[in-house]
Chain A
Amino acid sequence: MQKTKEIQTEFKPKILAFCCNWCAYAGADLAGVSRFQMPTDVRVIRVMCSGRVPPELVIRALANGLDGVMVLGCHPGDCHYSEGNYLTRRRAHILKRLLTYIGIEPERFQLRWVSASEGAKFSAVVKEVTDQITALGPNRWAEKR
Chain B
Amino acid sequence: MKATSAELQTRVKDLFEDGTISHFIGYETGSDSLRVAPCFLEGSQEIGRLVWNPVCANNLAKYLLDFKNVPGRVGIMVKGCDSRSVVELLKENQIDRDRVFIVGVPCSGIVDREKLLQVMGISPTQVVAVQDEGDSFLVTLTDGEQRVDKEKVLRDECLVCRYPNPPVYDVLTGETVSRLPWVGDDYSMVKEQEALSLEEKATYWNRELSQCIRCYACRNICPVCTCSECIFDKKAPRWISKANDLSENLVYHLIRAFHVAGRCVDCGECERACPMNIPLRRLNKKVEKDMLELFNYTAGIDVEQQPPLTTYRVDDLDEFM
Contact = CB atoms under 8 A, between A and B. Distances in A.
Interface of A: 55-56, 59-60, 63, 76-77, 83, 86-87, 89-95, 97-105, 110-113, 141-145
Contact of B202 (A91, A102, A112): A102
B40 interface: no
Given A60-B251, A91-B309, A99-B254, A113 B205 contact: no
A19 to B, nearest CB: 15
Given A56-B231, A90-B316, A113-B321, A98 B246 contact: no
Interface stretch (B51-59, B97-105, B111-119, B283-291): B283-291
A102 B314 contact: no
Given A56-B231, A63-B251, A113-B321, A90 B201 contact: no
Given A55-B258, A93-B317, A101-B286, A60 B239 contact: yes
Bin chain B's interface residue count: 35 or more
B-side interface mostly? helix
Interface of B: 193-194, 198-206, 231, 239, 245-248, 250-251, 253-255, 257-258, 261, 283, 286-287, 290-291, 294-295, 308-310, 312-314, 316-321
Nearest to B282: A101
B174 to A, nearest CB: 37
Q: Is the interface of A mostly helix, strand, loop or mixed?
A: helix
**The 8 residue pairs across chains A and B that have the minimum distance between CB atoms:** A103-B202, A86-B312, A103-B201, A144-B246, A144-B247, A111-B320, A102-B205, A63-B251
A142 B243 CA distance: 12
Given A94-B290, A103-B198, A55 B316 contact: no
